[in-house]
Every structure is written in C-alpha cells, then in structure tokens.
Amino acid sequence: PTVIRREDYTAPDYAIDSLALAFDLEPGATRVKSRLAVAPAHEQGSAADVRPLKLDGEALKLVSIALDGQPLAEGRDYRVDDSGLTVTAPPQGSFTLEIETEIDPKGNSELSGLYLSNGIFCTQCEAEGFRRITYFPDRPDVLTRYHVTIRGPKDSCPVLLSNGNLAETGELSDGRHYAVWDDPFPKPSYLFALVAGDLACHEEGFTTHSGREVALRIYVEHGKESRTGWAMDSLKRAMRWDETRFGLEYDLDLFNIVAVSDFNMGAMENKSLNVFNDKYILADPDTATDGDYAGIESVVAHEYFHNWTGNRVTCRDWFQLSLKEGLTVFRDQEFSSDVRSRPVERIQTVRALRARQFPEDAGPLAHPVRPDSYIEINNFYTPTVYEKGAEVIRMLHSLLGEDGFQKGMRLYIERHDGQAATCDDFVAAMADANDVDLEQFKRWYSQAGTPEVEVTGAYDGDSGTYEMTVRQTCPPTPGQPEKQPLQIPFAVGLLDAQGQDIPLALEGEDSGATSATKVLELRESEQRFRFPGVPEPRALSYNRGFSAPVNLKSEQSAEELAFLMAQDSDPFARWEAGQRYALRLLLQAVETLQAGGVPEFDTAFIDAFREILRDPQLDKAFAAEALTLPGESYIGEQMQPLDVDAIHRAREALRRRLAETLTDDLQEVYTVNTVTEAYSPEGEQAAQRALRNTALSYLSALAPEEGAALERLVDHYHAADNMTDRMAPLRLLADIGGEAAEATLQDFHDRYRDNDLVMDKWLALQAVSARPDTLERVKALEEHPVFSLSRPNKVRALIGTFVQANPLRYHAADGSGYRFHADRVLTLDGINSQIAARLLTPLGRWARMGEERQRLMKAELERILSAPDLSRDVYEIASKSLE
C-alpha cells in the first residue's frame, strides 16, 4: 500500500466554489447527483497550464458524468480506478461538472460514507468517507459551499437533515417528500452530513451572548427521547462556557444533534449537524453511571467546541489533525475542570494518558503529535494526536498564562477563520500574540516518545540555597533514534518540615516573583536552578499539576512520598505521591512473589491510606482517586518482562492487606456516605458514591467468596436506585464468580435485556472478569442475541474489553487469548476495517512480554499479515507492530 508523506503536501489544483447534491434515498441503491462549480486554483496562462482534475471515489457506481452539460466519454475524457476518477484534460478556466453515482447504504458495513444504522440513514465522512458518497476532492483544504436536496420516503424517513439552514421542504409523488438544506459556511467534505429516518426530537432554545436565538434539537430513535435531558443541558452549558471563557459564540440559528446506535467512534462534529453514538447522548439514573454522565457532558462539549476549533478553522491536511483534536480536547478538559473539580479532572486525565498514550509512545506505533507519514489516516485518531496533543496545548497555556493564551487564540482565529491551517500556524499565532519565541517548543509536534526527567537536589545550609539539577532525555522511537531537548514547563515546589510551601524565587529574580509553585522552563539536556534564601526543605514536589507529559526518573524515599501524600498543597502531586508509593510496593511484591515469598507492605503506606479515609476535610471525589491503586496495565508498563499473574496477585494482596488493616475505617466510610437524596449525577453526591464504592471494593477483598463480604455486594446491588451503584458491586461480583454472582448477573440481564447500551455494560463486565474461564465466557457471549460483529459498540464492549482491559486473561500462557484475538481481527476486517485495526493494537506490545509469549504474539501478527485481501488499516497496524 502507498505511504502518504507530510513532506509531499501540495496545494489543490482546483477549488470547488459550490456543490449541489441531490440524494434519492433507497436502502440498497441510493442515487447521488452532484454539480460541482470548479475553478482553477492556479494561474492558467495558457492551455498548457491546465492540469487534470483528480476526484477521489471509492465503492461507487458511476451512472453518468457531464462537463458544462456535455456527457464525457470514459477513456477519452476521463478514467476511473479504485481510488477515484480523473478528468484528464479539463477546459481552461472555470467549468461545471455533473456526476451521478449509485451507492449501497444497506450493504455499507464499514459505517463510513452513507450507511444505515438501525434503519436510519446517516453519514460519517471524517476522515475520508465523503469519497464513498460521490466523486470529489475529498481533502480538508478544499472548502466548498453545500446546497443539499434530500428525497426519501415519508413513512420511514419523516426527518430529513443536512448541514446549515433548512431552505425548503415539499411533497413528492409515491409517498415521498424532500428537504433542501443550505450551509452558508464553506466547509471541507469531511464535515458534510446527512441524516434521514423516523426520529423523535427534543427541542429547546438558547440565546447567545449577542442575542441570536438558536434552536437546539436532539434527535434520537423513538422511545429514547426521555434520556436526552442531560445531553441538552450539557450542550447549553458548553455554549455558554465557550462564550465566557473563549469569547466564542455560535454562528447559525440551528444546532442539531442526532444519536444513532451504530457508529465507529464517539461522535462527529459535522457543521451544525453533529452525529453521535447513542452512548454519548442517552442517560437516565437507571441506565447510566456517574461516569457515563461525565462522558456525555464532555463529548457533547467537545463536538460543540469543534465549531470554532475544527470547523471555522479547519486542518490543511490530515497530518495536522492535532490542530483541531489536541486543541479541542484541551478545551473540553478545561470545560470539565471549570464545571467540576479541577484536581479530580486532572487526575483522571493523567490516569487515562498513562493508560493509553504513554504505552503507545513506548511501543511500535509511536508517532509524533503531527505524524510524518501514514498508510491509512483512520489509524491516526490516536491517544497521541488527541491526548498528548492536548497536553502540548496545555503546556503552551502554562508558558503563556490564561491571558497570553487567549490573546494567541484570538489572533489564531482572526488570521485563519474560514481557512485550512497547520499546527505551525497555531504556534505562530501564540508566539506573535505574545512576542515570544516558540521555535524549540515546536519539537513537541515533531518528536515522538515520552521524555524522561530526572531531578536531583542539594541544600547548602551556609548560604541557604537549594540547587536543583534537572536532566531530560527521550527514548528512541521508530524512525527517530536521536532526540533533541524539548522546552518543558516543569512546576516544582519545596515543602518545609510542617508541610508548608516554601516561597520560591530563582536566583536573579526579584522578590515579586516569589511563589509557592515555580514553573521552571527546561530547554537543555541538563540545567541547574538555584533558589536562594530558603530554609532546608523536608520534601521536593515536582511536576505539580502534571505540568508536562513526562516520566519522572527520580527516586524519592518512602518517607518523602508518605509525607507528600499527606501534605502536598498541590492535590495532583499529593495523589501522584500515593501512586508512586503504591507502585513501588507493588513492584517489590511482584519480585517477592516471583521468588516464592509472601509480600509485605509498609505500615507507613497503610497509615497514609488511613489518614485519607479519616480526613473529613478532603474532597470525597479526590479521596476516591487517592484510595485507588494503580491498575494492572499501568503496573505492567513499569516492568519487563511483564508477569501478569504476579501483578494480579500482588495487587490483590495489597488490596486485601489494606482491607484487613483498615476494615473499621472502610466500614465507616461505607456507611456514612450513603446517599439519601434523589439522584443527581454530579457534585457532592457523585463524590460520595465514588468514595463509598471504593470502600465497597476494598471490603469485597475480605475473603470475598463467603459470608458478609459477598452479602454486602449483593445487598448493595439490590438496594441501588441508580446504575452507578448497580455496576460497582456487579463488577466485583463478576470477578468473584459463584452462584451469587451468576444470579446477580442474570438479574441485571433480565432487567435490561431491551436496553442496548446497558447490555454493552453487561458484556464488558464479564469480559474484564479475572475468572479463569473468562475467554470461554466471552466466546459464549458472542452467541448471545445482543452481540454482533457488525456493531462497533458490541465489539468494543466484549472483544475490545477482553483484549485491552483484561491483561491477566488475555495473556494466557497457552496463547489462547492471542489466537482468539487474531481470529476476530481477521473476521472483522471483512466487515469494518477501522474497527478491526483499532482492535488489533494490543498484539503489537509483544516486546514487553517474556520469550514464549513474544513468540506466540508475533506468530499471530504474522498470521494476520499473510491473510489475503487485508485492508490498508489492518495491514498498517500489523506490519508496524512487527517492525
């Protein structure tokens, strides 16, 4: 397959000033007529300057093509191949091209282009789905005005939607009707959308800051409308927040959201017609957890925020994807931090970054935030582009401050509104607005790998000076053996013996610059920073707030970590100290278990846990995070070869030790945090549930298979009046197994068998179970009527959960997990190659395993690679995974 390289970018030869599209909807044979107003994008001094017009197209049946009203002849005027259609010798100057194609929405199992989701016509065009609808320059730097006519049956498609404003509706013969939509904003083809079906609508209004009345409509399948309230509320709050914090207002009179049940990702920001996976719209207390509510709030906000960062200013090419995604993730994270608890949001973000992006950056698929090449762009919607991309934006925010960052945003939008821009354009706007040099900072966009930072400190009692030496390195990644130093904002603090922050100013700075947290600017491989006039510190607190996405190499003593865990004024650093301490104990326990011993755990750590449990001042959501041990996958990232059994046993041993020693405190926390008011998904109530369910989890580690602990879980489940409290014990029961667990799982199944989203939870609960027979169970569940390989949510819930979130059973020593995994990837590749490729990535982490597992994993990758008719998507991931 062809490798597309960033350095080969060339501007388009033609502009498409307007596009009229007319759809005649039929499930198996939809006709699409298009009229393109084509104009040369380059000076054409003579006929010799005229270039061929290349249009992308895939899986299309060409019905007719005419230029300025004259039919074209294949061979003479145009040629067609697998990737598109070329008009070989167009006339000089502007012209009109009319094309008719036929497509098959019903047979479109890729869910890219126009497809049917449970009888609803819907589109997904990012990144390259528009070419599966009609022939067109399907690239983000071709911005066009769209005029769309949709004709369809009135009974099955009473709702006909596209982007922009509704211009006209009317009746047709044979029970059909039509709607015409006009989008006044030129847009790239990836933002085109069409939806047609029998949908229920929840409508409310929003008045923008400047007084524009906007109709907000959320469309869902009938019967689901009662679950749209939270999404609507989230949308309104997001719209207001974007006005207040970023000064960005909505620009049309209508904003539509449609939720469908079959969707390749979470949601899509099509101009004024966002299309969502049901999962990120539908919620009520009985069926959605607090986490689901938070997810909906953030994804609804994320897609809305794209209206400015992505749609009004879009990407020049797909290498610039992080320009819109990194920035928009940063914006949705800030929204969540402003409306929820900032420290808890930061902790959860970092947990996710470490679980997904750090492993990617350390593996065979590592790539820069702005990649240099790809075979299939769909493979680059990655944690690196999204989440590390957001960290890069956050570092700019740290370096420039809120005012400086917003100045940069204003300049960026002023310069590039209505354009397709690059990551360099964004950084240039930030630099110019603040009159700073960000050349070195740009390395964050081009250099892959997670940097490592090592800090050592020395105190000179005579002069009262603390000197910090900071070294940075970055490990080699594929194609990048050598790395250069990065510009890193690195936040540090010093704590005195009482746990108070020591006010800090760097040598040479005036006293006005003194602060409790100092953001050091790292630029070289090794730098020294001197803080004069300070008392001897008791502990050093670094990378406060996770100011940079780096790994810390520095060793801190157990005492220092326990002290920071109890005292650090920076909540993130306080949580981090607990994680580092826990990780150290767990890795020691793994070694002990491997040597046949019985692990022991520091009482200082257990005491620190007790302090957290007993601290009434502590935010409960923070306490829940602080009491959660690092997960098995994250522990596994810190060791090589990875021993999944020992890790599981070590973590269980620490959980049990904590539960046994702190039983009374856990019981107390469990009891006092019972929520008695009517359900609300946020605030103190959600925090109480998080803390109470964390306590429940520890208490279940007390001889879980018998007596009181088991009873408590079953009672908790039956007493619950909301999904959060039902899921928490059920997840624990699924690990324990036995009669009580089976009965409760059956109860859950029977109660929710008609709710698609809840059945996904039921599948996932069983796929993540630590029980030895989990793989057999997963295979049995594939036969359940609710499961289908053609439905991405089902695949993710059952197979995705097993291969990504159950290291213990996935890495079974006999290779059965790997074999199952490869089999499903191969079958799925013939159905939906995007989903198959995403599912495949865990096989690429073979280098972390012991010899025998490495051999088994590589053999499966080779088996995949040798299969006939492999998609580009799967080929790229499998071949890179073996390099």
Under the binding rule (CB under 6 A), the answer on residue 265 touching ligand HT7 is yes
> Candidates 263-271, 438-446, 707-715, 866-874 — which segment interacts with ligand HT7 by CB under 6 A?
263-271
Nearest residue to 457 (alpha-carbon basis) of 560, 605, 585, 582: 560
Site for Zn ion in 36-55 (CB under 5 A): none
In the complex, what is the shortest distance from the CB of residue 302 to ligand HT7, in angstroms, rounded to a whole number?
6
Under the binding rule (CB under 6 A), the answer on residue 808 touching ligand HT7 is no
Residue whose tokens read 């608890």: 341
> The tokens of 17 are what?
């000033």
Under the binding rule (CB under 6 A), the answer on residue 126 touching ligand HT7 is yes
Select the residue whose beta carbon is closest to ligand HT7 and give its number. 265
Using CB distances below 5 to 8 A depending on partner kind, what does residue 124 bind out of ligand HT7, Zn ion, none? ligand HT7
Under the binding rule (CB under 6 A), the answer on residue 796 touching ligand HT7 is no
DSSP β-ladder status, 213-221 and 254-260: parallel
Under the binding rule (CB under 6 A), the answer on residue 874 touching ligand HT7 is no
Cβ closest to ligand HT7, residue 214 vs residue 265: 265
Using CB distances below 5 to 8 A depending on partner kind, what does residue 543 bind out of Zn ion, ligand HT7, none? none
Binder among 30, 101, 124, 722 for ligand HT7 (CB under 6 A): 124
Cβ closest to ligand HT7, residue 302 vs residue 544: 302
**How far apart, in whole angstroms, are the C-alpha atoms of residue 268 and residue 306?**
9
Using CB distances below 5 to 8 A depending on partner kind, what does residue 126 bind out of Zn ion, ligand HT7, none? ligand HT7
Nearest residue to 812 (alpha-carbon basis) of 844, 782, 779, 770: 770
Using CB distances below 5 to 8 A depending on partner kind, what does residue 758 bind out of Zn ion, ligand HT7, none? none
Cβ closest to Zn ion, residue 105 vs residue 129: 129
Site string for ligand HT7, 348-387 (x = CB under 6 A): ---------------------------------x------
In the complex, what is the shortest distance from the CB of residue 653 to ligand HT7, in angstroms, rounded to a whole number?
40
**How far apart, in whole angstroms, are the C-alpha atoms of residue 485 and residue 694?**
41
**How far apart, in whole angstroms, are the C-alpha atoms of residue 819 and residue 497?**
56
DSSP symbol at 319:
G
Binder among 264, 744, 774, 804 for ligand HT7 (CB under 6 A): 264
In the complex, what is the shortest distance from the CB of residue 360 to Zn ion, in angstroms, rounded to a whole number?
18
Binder among 110, 221, 242, 269 for ligand HT7 (CB under 6 A): 269
**How far apart, in whole angstroms, are the C-alpha atoms of residue 755 and residue 793?**
13
Cβ closest to Zn ion, residue 304 vs residue 575: 304
Under the binding rule (CB under 6 A), the answer on residue 314 touching ligand HT7 is no
Cβ closest to ligand HT7, residue 306 vs residue 620: 306
> Radius of gyration (Cα) for the chain, nearest Å?
28
The full DSSP string for 646-686 is HHHHHHHHHHHHHHHHTHHHHHHHHHHT---SPP-SSHHHH
In the complex, what is the shortest distance from the CB of residue 280 to Zn ion, in angstroms, rounded to a whole number?
12
**How far apart, in whole angstroms, are the C-alpha atoms of residue 601 and residue 579?**
14
Using CA atoms, how far residue 864 sits from 374, 592, 828, 836, in Å, is 20, 38, 12, 11
Q: Judge whether 111 and 832 are in contact, CB under 8 Å.
A: yes
**How far apart, in whole angstroms, are the C-alpha atoms of residue 596 and residue 16?**
70
Cβ closest to Zn ion, residue 325 vs residue 376: 325
Using CB distances below 5 to 8 A depending on partner kind, what does residue 264 bind out of Zn ion, ligand HT7, none? ligand HT7
**How far apart, in whole angstroms, are the C-alpha atoms of residue 412 and residue 406?**
10
Residue 207: Cβ within 10 Å count: 11
In the complex, what is the shortest distance from the CB of residue 17 to Zn ion, in angstroms, rounded to a whole number?
28
In the complex, what is the shortest distance from the CB of residue 266 to ligand HT7, in angstroms, rounded to a whole number?
6
In the complex, what is the shortest distance from the CB of residue 31 to ligand HT7, in angstroms, rounded to a whole number?
25
> Candidates 267-275, 288-296, 355-363, 806-814 — which segment interacts with ligand HT7 by CB under 6 A?
267-275
> The tokens of 239 are what?
């719209």
Using CB distances below 5 to 8 A depending on partner kind, what does residue 268 bind out of Zn ion, ligand HT7, none? ligand HT7
**How far apart, in whole angstroms, are the C-alpha atoms of residue 254 and residue 234?**
17
Using CA atoms, how far residue 253 sits from 238, 272, 691, in Å, is 16, 9, 43
Q: How far is CA 58 from the centre of its chain?
A: 28
**How far apart, in whole angstroms, are the C-alpha atoms of residue 169 and residue 425?**
41
DSSP β-ladder status, 551-552 and 452-460: parallel
> The tokens of 402 are what?
């809120």
| Strand positions, DSSP E, 112-268 | 113-117, 120-124, 144-153, 159-162, 165-171, 176-187, 194-197, 199-207, 213-221, 254-260, 267-268
Angle 723-736/290-305 helices, nearest 10 degrees? 120
DSSP symbol at 249:
-
Using CB distances below 5 to 8 A depending on partner kind, what does residue 265 bind out of ligand HT7, Zn ion, none? ligand HT7
**How far apart, in whole angstroms, are the C-alpha atoms of residue 637 and residue 642?**
8
Cβ closest to ligand HT7, residue 264 vs residue 804: 264
- Out of 98, 303, 334, 576, pick the active-site residue: 303
Cβ closest to ligand HT7, residue 307 vs residue 567: 307
Binder among 32, 87, 268, 315 for ligand HT7 (CB under 6 A): 268
> Candidates 328-336, 697-705, 720-728, 846-854 — which segment interacts with Zn ion by CB under 5 A?
328-336
Nearest residue to 304 (alpha-carbon basis) of 330, 279, 259, 273: 273
In the complex, what is the shortest distance from the CB of residue 115 to ligand HT7, in angstroms, rounded to a whole number?
11
> Candidates 123-131, 180-188, 541-549, 871-879 — which segment interacts with ligand HT7 by CB under 6 A?
123-131
Nearest residue to 781 (alpha-carbon basis) of 758, 797, 803, 793: 797
Whether the bond between 641 and the residue before it is cis, its omega within 30 degrees of 0, is yes
> The tokens of 270 are what?
């099509």
Using CB distances below 5 to 8 A depending on partner kind, what does residue 608 bind out of ligand HT7, Zn ion, none? none
Count of residues interacting with ligand HT7 (CB under 6 A):
13
Label residue 430 exposed, middle or buried (CB < 10 Å: 0-12, 13-18, 19+). Answer: buried
Q: Judge whether 834 and 800 are in contact, CB under 8 Å.
A: no
> Candidates 274-282, 319-327, 566-574, 815-823 — which segment interacts with Zn ion by CB under 5 A?
319-327
In the complex, what is the shortest distance from the CB of residue 376 to ligand HT7, in angstroms, rounded to a whole number?
11
> The tokens of 420 are what?
């397709």
Using CB distances below 5 to 8 A depending on partner kind, what does residue 541 bind out of Zn ion, ligand HT7, none? none
In the complex, what is the shortest distance from the CB of residue 126 to Zn ion, in angstroms, rounded to a whole number?
9
In the complex, what is the shortest distance from the CB of residue 864 to Zn ion, in angstroms, rounded to a whole number?
29
What torsion do the CA atoms of 803, 808, 813, 815 make, to the nearest 10 degrees?
A: -10
Using CB distances below 5 to 8 A depending on partner kind, what does residue 9 bind out of ligand HT7, Zn ion, none? none
Cβ closest to ligand HT7, residue 133 vs residue 540: 133
In the complex, what is the shortest distance from the CB of residue 107 to ligand HT7, in angstroms, rounded to a whole number?
19
Q: Judge whether 367 and 448 are in contact, CB under 8 Å.
A: yes
Using CB distances below 5 to 8 A depending on partner kind, what does residue 434 bind out of ligand HT7, Zn ion, none? none
> Candidates 317-325, 354-362, 653-661, 811-819 — which segment interacts with Zn ion by CB under 5 A?
317-325
303 is catalytic: yes
Site for ligand HT7 in 270-309 (CB under 6 A): 302-303, 306
Q: Judge whether 296 and 238 are in contact, CB under 8 Å.
A: no
Under the binding rule (CB under 6 A), the answer on residue 325 touching ligand HT7 is yes
Cβ closest to ligand HT7, residue 206 vs residue 381: 381
> The tokens of 544 are what?
């406060």
Residue 218: Cβ within 10 Å count: 28
In the complex, what is the shortest distance from the CB of residue 477 to ligand HT7, in angstroms, rounded to a whole number?
24
Element counts in the chain: helices (H) and strands (E) = 29, 31
**How far apart, in whole angstroms, are the C-alpha atoms of residue 265 and residue 275?**
10
What is the set of active-site residues?
A: 303
Residues found near Zn ion in the complex (CB under 5 A): 325, 328
Residues found near ligand HT7 in the complex (CB under 6 A): 124, 126-127, 264-265, 267-269, 302-303, 306, 325, 381
